[in-house]
Amino acid sequence: MDYQRPNGRATAEDVANLARRAGKLAGWAARTGFELTRKLPGIDTAERGLRQVERGLLSELRRRLDEVDDPYHAALAAASAMNRSDSAGRVVEASVMLVPSRERTEPLRAAMAELLNHSIGFGRDRAREYLYAIILRQLTPDEARILAALSDGSPFPAVDVAERTGIGGTGRTVLRNASTVGKAAGVALPDQVPAYMTRLIGLGLVDLDEEVPALETQYEILLTDETVRAAEEQVKRCKVIRRTVHISRFGAQFWHACDPSLG
């Protein structure tokens, strides 16, 4: 289906439709344990086809997210046009001014002014939509898979690897937020799971919590992970700090708004 508009710009509805198509593929793979079916006849061909379609849809989704009325891009576009003449010789300015414009405004200051001016008509729903759109644009496909795996609220083991000091304390940390959730989600780059988790925690989508003894077997599996073992070899005396990761309250709200299965 062609979503291209006569003016060449995609609308929020266009992006939502495309997101549902991409999300159904990614969500199906994550929820049905696609990794476990690889031994079935012909599954390699099917998987390659799925990955190719998924990559294409995600690329198109990102392109159209860039085109949607996004505060960052709107600000930069406005900054480049602010106080400049159009083809008819008229000066281009923001329609509603919270921050007065100047004849010569630096691009970053102009962008901030545009954001402030643009926020005047925002209600709660529109502000939330902008916030979620900005976060969505920052996620990688692997991070989306991890978030899908965490979306039901289940905790997963996580560990930090640090150097043990002479009195049994904790020295420098050489690895943070390694977790089994990456393998469960079927990420393409398992060695980058600590970085993915750190980013998701930084975005407020995932929370760290205390160790859960019931996950002992999974902790033992995590300690055999190549990334964890490599970190342990970086220090003379190793101290492993056990935690769990789970979707945050904000992350659950974000997922509910973006969950393709609800579209």
Residue 139 lies in a domain: no
Together in a domain, 223 and 160: yes
pTM confidence score:
0.65
| pLDDT in the model for residue 62 | 59
Residue 215 lies in a domain: yes
Together in a domain, 158 and 245: yes
| pLDDT in the model for residue 154 | 95
Residue 258 lies in a domain: yes
Of 201, 217, 127, the closest CA to residue 160 belongs to 201
| pLDDT in the model for residue 102 | 55
Burial 112-141 (b: 16+ CB within 10 A, else e): ebbbebbeeeeeeeeeebbeebebbeebbb
Residue 66 lies in a domain: no
Residues of the chain with pLDDT under 50: 1-12, 28-41, 43, 71-72, 75-76, 78-85, 91-96
| pLDDT in the model for residue 113 | 83
Together in a domain, 156 and 235: yes
For residue 251, give the CATH number of its domain.
Answer: 3.30.110.190
Residue 39 lies in a domain: no
The number of helices, as runs of H, and strands, as runs of E, in the chain is 11, 4
Residue 104 makes CB contacts below 8 A (sequence gap 6+) with 83
Residue 37 lies in a domain: no
Residue 27 lies in a domain: no
Dump pLDDT digits (tens) for 69-91: 554 455 445 444 444 445 555 54
Together in a domain, 232 and 156: yes
Dump pLDDT digits (tens) for 214-243: 999 999 999 999 999 999 999 989 999 999
| Number of domains making up the chain | 2
Together in a domain, 250 and 207: yes
| pLDDT in the model for residue 209 | 96
Structural domain including 112 reads 71-126
| pLDDT in the model for residue 174 | 95
Together in a domain, 122 and 165: no
Residue 175 lies in a domain: yes
Together in a domain, 161 and 251: yes
